[in-house]
Protein backbone atom coordinates (compact mmCIF):
# COMPACT_ATOMS: atom_id res chain seq x y z
CA UNK A 1 0.00 0.00 0.00
CA UNK A 2 1.40 3.42 -0.97
CA UNK A 3 -0.05 5.29 2.01
CA UNK A 4 -1.82 4.09 5.11
CA UNK A 5 -5.39 5.33 5.42
CA UNK A 6 -6.58 7.76 8.02
CA UNK A 7 -8.25 5.39 10.50
CA UNK A 8 -11.38 6.50 12.33
CA UNK A 9 -12.78 4.53 15.26
CA UNK A 10 -16.54 4.54 15.78
CA UNK A 11 -18.90 2.50 17.94
CA UNK A 12 -22.53 1.39 17.88
CA UNK A 13 -25.48 2.73 15.93
CA UNK A 14 -24.62 6.26 16.99
CA UNK A 15 -21.13 5.91 15.53
CA UNK A 16 -22.58 4.55 12.30
CA UNK A 17 -24.13 7.95 11.66
CA UNK A 18 -20.72 9.63 11.34
CA UNK A 19 -18.74 6.82 9.70
CA UNK A 20 -17.12 7.58 6.35
CA UNK A 21 -14.80 6.31 3.64
CA UNK A 22 -14.30 2.56 3.52
CA UNK A 23 -16.32 1.27 6.48
CA UNK A 24 -15.66 -2.04 8.22
CA UNK A 25 -18.83 -2.87 10.16
CA UNK A 26 -17.68 -5.19 12.96
CA UNK A 27 -19.97 -7.69 14.68
CA UNK A 28 -18.02 -10.56 16.24
CA UNK A 29 -20.86 -11.98 18.41
CA UNK A 30 -22.27 -13.10 16.01
CA UNK A 31 -23.49 -11.64 12.75
CA UNK A 32 -20.38 -11.48 10.64
CA UNK A 33 -18.89 -14.66 11.96
CA UNK A 34 -22.10 -16.25 10.70
CA UNK A 35 -21.84 -14.43 7.36
CA UNK A 36 -18.40 -15.93 6.75
CA UNK A 37 -19.78 -19.39 7.50
CA UNK A 38 -22.61 -18.94 5.00
CA UNK A 39 -20.10 -18.45 2.21
CA UNK A 40 -17.75 -21.13 3.53
CA UNK A 41 -20.66 -23.55 3.17
CA UNK A 42 -21.42 -22.45 -0.37
CA UNK A 43 -24.26 -19.94 -0.10
CA UNK A 44 -24.83 -18.21 -3.43
CA UNK A 45 -25.79 -14.82 -1.98
CA UNK A 46 -26.58 -13.18 1.34
CA UNK A 47 -29.15 -10.42 1.71
CA UNK A 48 -28.74 -8.16 4.74
CA UNK A 49 -32.15 -6.91 5.85
CA UNK A 50 -32.59 -4.88 9.04
CA UNK A 51 -36.40 -5.02 9.17
CA UNK A 52 -37.58 -8.37 10.62
CA UNK A 53 -40.92 -8.22 8.80
CA UNK A 54 -39.24 -7.47 5.50
CA UNK A 55 -36.75 -10.29 6.14
CA UNK A 56 -39.65 -12.72 6.56
CA UNK A 57 -41.25 -11.42 3.38
CA UNK A 58 -38.02 -11.91 1.41
CA UNK A 59 -37.82 -15.44 2.77
CA UNK A 60 -41.26 -16.08 1.25
CA UNK A 61 -40.56 -14.32 -2.05
CA UNK A 62 -37.20 -15.92 -2.91
CA UNK A 63 -37.59 -19.61 -3.81
CA UNK A 64 -35.43 -21.93 -1.73
CA UNK A 65 -34.07 -19.15 0.47
CA UNK A 66 -33.40 -19.45 4.20
CA UNK A 67 -33.82 -16.85 6.93
CA UNK A 68 -31.14 -16.64 9.59
CA UNK A 69 -31.71 -13.98 12.15
CA UNK A 70 -32.66 -12.59 15.52
CA UNK A 71 -34.20 -9.65 17.31
CA UNK A 72 -32.27 -8.85 20.50
CA UNK A 73 -30.70 -12.34 20.28
CA UNK A 74 -34.07 -14.13 20.09
CA UNK A 75 -34.50 -16.11 16.84
CA UNK A 76 -37.07 -14.68 14.45
CA UNK A 77 -40.34 -16.60 14.59
CA UNK A 78 -40.88 -18.15 11.18
CA UNK A 79 -37.17 -18.11 10.37
CA UNK A 80 -34.98 -21.13 9.74
CA UNK A 81 -32.11 -20.54 12.17
CA UNK A 82 -31.04 -18.19 14.90
CA UNK A 83 -27.93 -16.08 14.44
CA UNK A 84 -25.63 -18.81 15.81
CA UNK A 85 -22.36 -20.22 14.41
CA UNK A 86 -23.08 -23.50 16.21
CA UNK A 87 -26.44 -23.87 14.47
CA UNK A 88 -24.88 -23.04 11.11
CA UNK A 89 -22.05 -25.53 11.61
CA UNK A 90 -24.52 -28.25 12.51
CA UNK A 91 -26.50 -27.60 9.32
CA UNK A 92 -23.36 -27.58 7.21
CA UNK A 93 -22.77 -27.37 3.48
CA UNK A 94 -25.74 -29.48 2.46
CA UNK A 95 -28.10 -26.92 3.95
CA UNK A 96 -26.48 -23.76 2.51
CA UNK A 97 -25.01 -24.80 -0.84
CA UNK A 98 -26.26 -22.56 -3.71
CA UNK A 99 -28.94 -20.92 -1.56
CA UNK A 100 -29.84 -17.32 -0.83
CA UNK A 101 -29.56 -16.47 2.87
CA UNK A 102 -31.65 -13.62 4.24
CA UNK A 103 -29.77 -12.38 7.31
CA UNK A 104 -31.21 -10.10 9.98
CA UNK A 105 -29.42 -9.03 13.17
CA UNK A 106 -29.94 -6.29 15.72
CA UNK A 107 -26.43 -4.79 15.60
CA UNK A 108 -24.31 -5.77 12.60
CA UNK A 109 -26.90 -5.99 9.84
CA UNK A 110 -28.64 -2.86 11.09
CA UNK A 111 -25.32 -1.03 11.04
CA UNK A 112 -24.71 -2.04 7.44
CA UNK A 113 -28.15 -0.76 6.47
CA UNK A 114 -27.30 2.63 8.01
CA UNK A 115 -23.96 3.14 6.26
CA UNK A 116 -24.52 1.35 2.93
CA UNK A 117 -25.60 4.35 0.89
CA UNK A 118 -22.82 6.73 1.88
CA UNK A 119 -19.78 4.49 2.31
CA UNK A 120 -17.14 4.22 -0.39
CA UNK A 121 -17.16 0.50 0.39
CA UNK A 122 -18.73 -1.60 3.16
CA UNK A 123 -16.85 -4.61 4.54
CA UNK A 124 -18.29 -7.04 7.08
CA UNK A 125 -15.86 -7.38 9.98
CA UNK A 126 -15.08 -10.25 12.34
CA UNK A 127 -12.06 -12.02 13.78
CA UNK A 128 -12.46 -14.96 11.39
CA UNK A 129 -11.76 -12.74 8.37
CA UNK A 130 -9.64 -10.02 10.00
CA UNK A 131 -6.29 -10.63 8.28
CA UNK A 132 -7.98 -10.94 4.89
CA UNK A 133 -9.76 -7.64 5.58
CA UNK A 134 -6.49 -5.92 6.40
CA UNK A 135 -4.81 -7.22 3.23
CA UNK A 136 -7.78 -6.19 1.11
CA UNK A 137 -7.80 -2.67 2.56
CA UNK A 138 -4.06 -2.29 2.04
CA UNK A 139 -4.51 -3.29 -1.60
CA UNK A 140 -7.35 -0.77 -2.01
CA UNK A 141 -5.36 2.13 -0.50
CA UNK A 142 -8.35 4.16 0.74
CA UNK A 143 -7.83 7.67 2.05
CA UNK A 144 -10.18 7.15 5.00
CA UNK A 145 -11.06 3.94 6.82
CA UNK A 146 -13.69 3.69 9.54
CA UNK A 147 -13.62 0.73 11.91
CA UNK A 148 -17.19 0.64 13.21
CA UNK A 149 -17.55 -1.67 16.23
CA UNK A 150 -21.29 -2.29 16.54
CA UNK A 151 -21.34 -3.40 20.18
CA UNK A 152 -24.17 -4.99 22.15
CA UNK A 153 -27.46 -4.51 20.30
CA UNK A 154 -25.86 -1.49 18.67
CA UNK A 155 -26.29 0.46 21.89
CA UNK A 156 -23.31 -0.21 24.17
CA UNK A 157 -19.68 -0.83 23.12
CA UNK A 158 -18.61 -4.45 23.55
CA UNK A 159 -15.06 -5.69 24.20
CA UNK A 160 -15.09 -8.29 21.41
CA UNK A 161 -15.97 -5.78 18.68
CA UNK A 162 -13.54 -3.17 20.00
CA UNK A 163 -10.80 -5.84 20.17
CA UNK A 164 -11.49 -6.90 16.59
CA UNK A 165 -11.16 -3.27 15.52
CA UNK A 166 -7.89 -3.09 17.49
CA UNK A 167 -6.62 -6.19 15.71
CA UNK A 168 -7.49 -4.94 12.22
CA UNK A 169 -5.88 -1.59 13.04
CA UNK A 170 -2.79 -3.45 14.25
CA UNK A 171 -2.57 -5.41 10.99
CA UNK A 172 -2.85 -2.24 8.92
CA UNK A 173 -0.86 0.28 10.94
CA UNK A 174 1.36 -1.77 13.24
CA UNK A 175 -0.31 -0.43 16.37
CA UNK A 176 0.42 -2.84 19.26
CA UNK A 177 -2.15 -5.55 19.91
CA UNK A 178 -2.19 -8.28 22.56
CA UNK A 179 -4.76 -10.98 21.82
CA UNK A 180 -4.35 -12.67 25.20
CA UNK A 181 -5.16 -9.41 26.96
CA UNK A 182 -8.11 -8.91 24.63
CA UNK A 183 -9.47 -12.38 25.41
CA UNK A 184 -9.20 -11.70 29.13
CA UNK A 185 -11.30 -8.56 28.73
CA UNK A 186 -13.85 -10.31 26.52
CA UNK A 187 -14.63 -13.53 28.34
CA UNK A 188 -15.29 -11.92 31.73
CA UNK A 189 -17.77 -9.39 30.38
CA UNK A 190 -21.50 -9.83 29.95
CA UNK A 191 -21.36 -9.98 26.15
CA UNK A 192 -19.54 -13.33 26.45
CA UNK A 193 -20.89 -14.50 29.81
CA UNK A 194 -24.47 -14.61 28.52
CA UNK A 195 -23.31 -17.46 26.29
CA UNK A 196 -21.04 -19.14 28.83
CA UNK A 197 -23.82 -19.32 31.44
CA UNK A 198 -25.80 -21.56 29.10
CA UNK A 199 -29.19 -20.41 30.36
CA UNK A 200 -30.74 -19.70 26.94
CA UNK A 201 -30.80 -22.31 24.16
CA UNK A 202 -30.44 -19.68 21.45
CA UNK A 203 -27.16 -18.50 23.04
CA UNK A 204 -25.04 -21.67 22.83
CA UNK A 205 -22.01 -21.87 25.09
CA UNK A 206 -19.85 -22.79 22.11
CA UNK A 207 -20.61 -19.72 19.99
CA UNK A 208 -17.85 -17.50 21.45
CA UNK A 209 -15.27 -20.23 20.80
CA UNK A 210 -15.90 -20.01 17.07
CA UNK A 211 -16.35 -16.23 17.04
CA UNK A 212 -12.98 -15.56 18.70
CA UNK A 213 -10.90 -17.60 16.25
CA UNK A 214 -8.67 -15.36 14.18
CA UNK A 215 -8.06 -15.49 10.43
CA UNK A 216 -9.93 -18.67 9.52
CA UNK A 217 -10.91 -17.53 6.03
CA UNK A 218 -8.98 -15.96 3.15
CA UNK A 219 -11.83 -13.89 1.77
CA UNK A 220 -13.52 -10.63 2.67
CA UNK A 221 -17.24 -9.95 2.52
CA UNK A 222 -18.37 -6.70 0.94
CA UNK A 223 -21.92 -5.35 0.94
CA UNK A 224 -23.68 -3.04 -1.50
CA UNK A 225 -27.20 -2.07 -2.38
CA UNK A 226 -28.42 -3.85 -5.49
CA UNK A 227 -31.93 -4.17 -6.93
CA UNK A 228 -33.52 -2.76 -3.78
CA UNK A 229 -31.70 -4.96 -1.25
CA UNK A 230 -28.29 -4.92 0.41
CA UNK A 231 -26.38 -7.90 -0.86
CA UNK A 232 -23.18 -9.33 0.62
CA UNK A 233 -20.64 -11.12 -1.54
CA UNK A 234 -17.25 -12.71 -0.80
CA UNK A 235 -14.10 -11.49 -2.51
CA UNK A 236 -10.86 -13.41 -2.55
CA UNK A 237 -7.79 -11.55 -1.33
- Give pLDDT tens digits for 36-92: 999 999 999 999 999 999 999 999 999 999 999 999 999 999 999 999 999 999 999
Provide the CATH number for the domain around residue 162.
Answer: 3.90.1560.10
The answer to whether residue 191 is domain-embedded is: yes
Q: Provide the domain count of the chain.
A: 1
Domain that holds residue 60: 6-227
Give CA–CA dist 42/37, Å, rounded: 9
The answer to whether residue 208 is domain-embedded is: yes
The answer to whether residue 138 is domain-embedded is: yes
pLDDT of the residue at 2? 61
Name which residue leads in pLDDT, 121 or 1.
121
Phi, psi for 204 (deg, rounded to 5): -60, 145
Phi, psi for 231 (deg, rounded to 5): -115, 135
Whether 169 and 163 have beta carbons less than 8 Å apart is answered as no
DSSP string spanning 5-47?
Answer: PEEEEEEHHHHHTT--SEEEEE-TTTHHHHHHHHHHTT-SEEE
The answer to whether residue 232 is domain-embedded is: no
Whether 46 and 111 have beta carbons less than 8 Å apart is answered as no
Give CA–CA dist 36/51, Å, rounded: 21
pLDDT range class, residue 1, cuts 50, 70, 90: very low
CA atoms within 13 A on the CB side of 131: 7
The answer to whether residue 237 is domain-embedded is: no
The DSSP call for residue 72 is: T
The answer to whether residue 1 is domain-embedded is: no
Residues 17-43: pLDDT tens digits? 999 999 999 999 999 999 999 999 999
The answer to whether residue 137 is domain-embedded is: yes
Whether 188 and 158 have beta carbons less than 8 Å apart is answered as no
Closest CA to 128 of 213, 197, 202, 10: 213
Closest CA to 102 of 37, 42, 47, 39: 47
pLDDT of the residue at 20? 97
Residues 101-135: pLDDT tens digits? 999 999 999 999 999 999 999 999 999 999 999 99
pLDDT range class, residue 3, cuts 50, 70, 90: confident
Taking the model in full, what pTM does it have? 0.96
Residues 160-194: pLDDT tens digits? 999 999 999 999 999 999 999 999 999 999 999 99
Amino acid sequence: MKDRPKILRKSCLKGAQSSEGVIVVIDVFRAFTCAALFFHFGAERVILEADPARALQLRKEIPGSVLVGEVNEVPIKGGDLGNSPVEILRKGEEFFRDKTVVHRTTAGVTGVNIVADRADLVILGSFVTARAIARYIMNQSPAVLTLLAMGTRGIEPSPEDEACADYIEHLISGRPYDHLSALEKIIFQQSAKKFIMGTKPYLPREDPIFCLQRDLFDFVIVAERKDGVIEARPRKV
